[in-house]
Amino acid sequence: MSTDQFSVDGDVAIVTGSSSGIGKSIAERFAADGVDVVVCSREQDNVDPVAEGINEGDSPGEALAVECDVTDRDAVEALVEATVETFGGLDVLVNNAGASFMADFDDISPNGWKTIMDINVNGTYHCTHAAAEYLKDGGGSVINLASVAGQRGSPLMSPYGAAKAAVINLTTTLSYEWADDDVRVNCIAPGFVATPGVESQMGVSADTIDREEVARRIGTVEEIADVTQFLASPASSYVVGETITVQGVPQIEEDHDV
């Protein structure tokens, strides 16, 4: 059986928010398959080790580390320019950079609300808008990272849920507008994933998760990278404008006899 259709070898990709967690795993997966990948975060010192790990390893793809705040349009345009100057083009954009905090809606300040919207929604806009010319040059793929919180809401995370709902809607709309430009736009809505942030806050480690177990409610960053590679590859050529929920066992209300 051929698996060539699942390969993204030879592509060039930007993965935002890739200093750790899901973004780092996606960047490493791409590089392992031969993708030249640009990794970025707000702090150069946080993203340099990711690029070094890729470049000093056995991955056929190369990595470039760029400091970029996705809410800063000038910084985003510099990110795209550095990508094209270094690797000659851009085929895949993964809008992974995001942020959230937990608080009652009544306790959220205007600045707190604006900050979450700015990073999750405006950051996705800036990166996608700035990269449009290059993504349309020969066809490309945009993969947005949303959340199940954006699909069904999430208590104590109202700005994050609202922001991710906007990303999901933008995915649908932009996929329609850009289809004639040979650019596929899709979205991933992860559920509970064992990232370093989750481990520090909740004590759940990826090392304790059995990936073979179907009946589970927490996943690994590698499993999100699996879906991302699929959406970037020719294997998903007929998948356009979709939001793929990756959450393990769905939460279902069960009726119990009293």
**Does 134 participate in catalysis according to the annotation?**
no
**By the 8 A CB rule, do 30 and 5 touch?**
no
Q: 28 with 22: CB under 8 angstroms?
A: no
3-state secondary structure 58-112: CCCCCEEEEECCCCCHHHHHHHHHHHHHHHCCCCEEEECCCCCCCCCHHHCCHHH
DSSP string computed for 146-202: --THHHH--TT-HHHHHHHHHHHHHHHHHHHHHGGGTEEEEEEEE-SB--HHHHHHH
- DSSP letter at 236 equals G
Enclosing H/E stretch for 223: helix 221-232
Catalytic pick among 125, 134, 160, 238: 160
What is the helix, strand, coil percentage profile of the chain, to 5? 50, 15, 35
Q: From CA 257, how far away is CA 255, in angstroms rounded? A: 7
Q: Which residues are tagged catalytic?
A: 160
